[in-house]
Chain A
C-alpha cells in the first residue's frame, strides 16, 4: 500500500495530493500539465521542494514535518520517465546493469532481460534504438534495481505510437510475474482499464477522482478533460491454434474465444487492441454475417457527445467501447441495461507487441 500526502509548488499552481493506493497497479490519468510527472518525481525523491508524508508498505520515505527525507538512492523506487533517459555513454547492457545491487539477486538482470525481450539489444548503443525499444530498456533498467515500486510515465508520443512498440504487454507481465506495484501515467483509458484496478484522475494539481479504474474512466466528459485521451478496447488472452491462413483463437480469461488474426507460430499470452470505431452494434441477434466475432452483451452506459456516442457494453467478461452515431443510438433504442450484439471483424483486432 502506498500512501501519499504531498504538497509541491509548481509554476502557476501547486500539486496537492492526499491518497492511499491499494491496488498492485494504479493508473494516473489527466490532461497535460496536471502535475502527473511531478507526482511521480516527488515520490521518487527527485523534487526537493516536495512537502508532506509518503510511505510505501508502511516504510516512510518522506516526512517533512519530522525532517525525514530519504534520498532517491535509498527509496528503492524504479523510475521510467517519458523520454526513457538512457545513459548515452553506456550500451544497453551497461544501462540495464546500472542499478544492479551489489548484494542483490543476480537473476534480476536476466529476469528483466527476459520479460522485456531485450536480449538482442544488449550490445547496442541507446542512440540506435527505436522509441519503443528505449522504453523497454529503461523499464528493464528499473526492474534490475529490484524496486519495491515502479513509476512509469507514458512515452510522450504514445498517443500515436506504433502497436508493436507499445509497452503495455510488458507492464502486464511485470504486474503478474514480477509482481512489483506500479503507478502508470497514461492517456489511454483502455490501457488504464486493462492494467490497473485503481485509478486517479489528476487535474490542476488536485486529485479529482480516485477509485476503481472503470468508474474513474466511465461517464466523464473526456474530450474536455484530456484532449489526448484515447479509448481503446484492450483484450488479453492466450493465443491458441491457427490453421494456416484461418484466424487464430484468443482464449479470454472467461473462457470465451475470439477470432483474431494469426500471428505466425506464436502461441501464448497475447494482447490485442480494437478501436471503438471498429465495433458494430446490433439490437437484434446477428446471423450469417462476415464478422467472425459476434458477442451478446448488455449496455452499461451511453456517453453522448456532439455528433456521436460512446456505448459501453459488457460482453464475454470484457467491457467494450463502441463509437456510433447519436442517430444510431436513437434508432436502436440503446440505453443502460438494453441487450446488444457486438460484431467485430477478425482483422479489427490489432496485436500489441
Chain B
C-alpha cells in the first residue's frame, strides 16, 4: 500500500463521514415528517426525494453542476460569500450527500411509520413535549431503521462516482476518491494499482456492514432482554 493509496482512502473516508453526518439531521427530520404527514402531496415529495436513487448519477451531477456554476442560481450566491465549491473536496461532499440522502430517508421513514402513534400520544400525556417524545421514544424505537439508513448512505458515499466526477472532477490528491481513482488507474493502464484500491474498498465495505450487523444484533438483544 503506497502513501498515495492511503491518502485516497483518507479522503474517501473523510468525505463519506462528513456527508453522512451532514445529512443525518436533515434525513431524520425528513423521514419523521414523511412518516407523520398524512396530507396530500406526500407522494410527490416522496418521489422527488427518491429521484437520486433512480436517476443516472451523472444526470444528478449535471443538475448540480448547473446550479453551482458561477452563473447558476446557487453559484452566484456562493460567489458572493466567497465560497469556492466546484472541483474541491467540498463539492465531493455535496455530490455524495445528495446521492446518499434518499438512502437514509427511506428506511428511517419506514421505521418511524412502524411506531404505534398512540405510543407517542401516551408519551405526551405523561407530560413530554413533542420534541422530547421524538428524542426519547421515536428515535430509540426507530433505531434499527435509522442505523440501516446510515449504513446505506455511508456505503453509497464511499462508492459514489457519477455525480462526483461531474461536480468535482477527478483531481488526484484533491477530489479523487476510491471510486474515481480505480477508474482513473485502469484508464492509464495501472491495473495492479487499481486492484489494490479495489481490495481496500472490499475491506471497507465488509467492515461497514459487519459493524452495523453487530450493532443491530446487540440492540435486538437489549430489547428482548
What is the interface of chain A, defined by CB distance below 8 A to chain B? 41, 44-46, 71-73, 75-79, 81, 85, 87-89, 98-99, 101, 125, 127, 141-142, 145
Per the bound structure, the CA–CA distance linking A127 and B223 in Å amounts to 9
Residue in contact with A145 in the complex, picked from B127, B140, B224, CB distance below 8 Å: B127
Question: How many B residues touch A, CB cutoff 8 Å?
Answer: 19
Q: Does B137 contact A44, Cβ atoms closer than 8 Å?
A: no
Are the CB atoms of B124 and A73 closer together than 8 Å? Answer: yes
Closest Cβ–Cβ distance, residue B127 to chain A (whole Å): 5
Contact assessment for A81 and B118 in the assembled complex, using a CB-CB cutoff below 8 Å: yes
Give the CA-CA distance A79 to B224 in the complex, in Å.
26
Interface residues of B (CB under 8 A from A): 116, 118-119, 121-129, 136-137, 140-141, 223-225
Distance between Cα atoms of A81 and B122 in the complex (Å): 9
7 additional A-B residue pairs with CB within 8 Å, beyond A73-B125, A85-B118, A125-B223: A45-B125, A85-B119, A99-B126, A99-B127, A127-B223, A145-B125, A145-B127
Closest to A151 in B: B125
How many contacts between A and B, using CB within 8 angstroms? 59
CB contact under 8 A between A72 and B124, given known A81-B118, A125-B224, A127-B224: yes
User: Contact at A98–B123, with CB atoms within 8 Å?
Assistant: yes
The smallest beta-carbon distance between B1 and chain A, in angstroms, is 43
Q: CA A79 – CA B133 in complex, angstroms?
A: 16
B125 touching A75 by the CB < 8 A rule? yes
Shortest beta-carbon distance from A98 to chain B in Å: 5
A46–B118 CB distance below 8 A: yes
- Which of B125, B136, B223 has its CB near the most chain A CB atoms (within 10 A)? B125
Is B141 a contact of A89 with CB atoms below 8 Å? yes
User: How many Å from the CB of A137 to the closest CB on chain B?
Assistant: 13
Q: Choose from B121, B124, B125, B140 the contact partner of A89 (Cβ within 8 Å).
A: B140
Residue picked from B119, B126, B128, B224, most chain A C-beta under 10 Å: B126
Q: Which 4 A-B pairs give the minimum distances between C-beta atoms?
A: A99-B126, A72-B124, A46-B121, A72-B125
Contacts of A145 in B (CB 8 A): 125-127
Q: Report whether A125 and B124 are in contact in the complex, using a CB–CB cutoff of 8 Å.
A: no
**Interchain Cβ contacts under 8 Å between A and B, 29 examples:** A44-B121, A45-B124, A45-B125, A46-B124, A46-B125, A71-B124, A72-B121, A72-B125, A73-B124, A73-B125, A73-B126, A75-B125, A78-B125, A79-B122, A81-B122, A85-B116, A85-B119, A87-B137, A88-B223, A89-B137, A89-B141, A98-B128, A99-B126, A99-B128, A101-B127, A125-B224, A127-B224, A141-B126, A142-B126
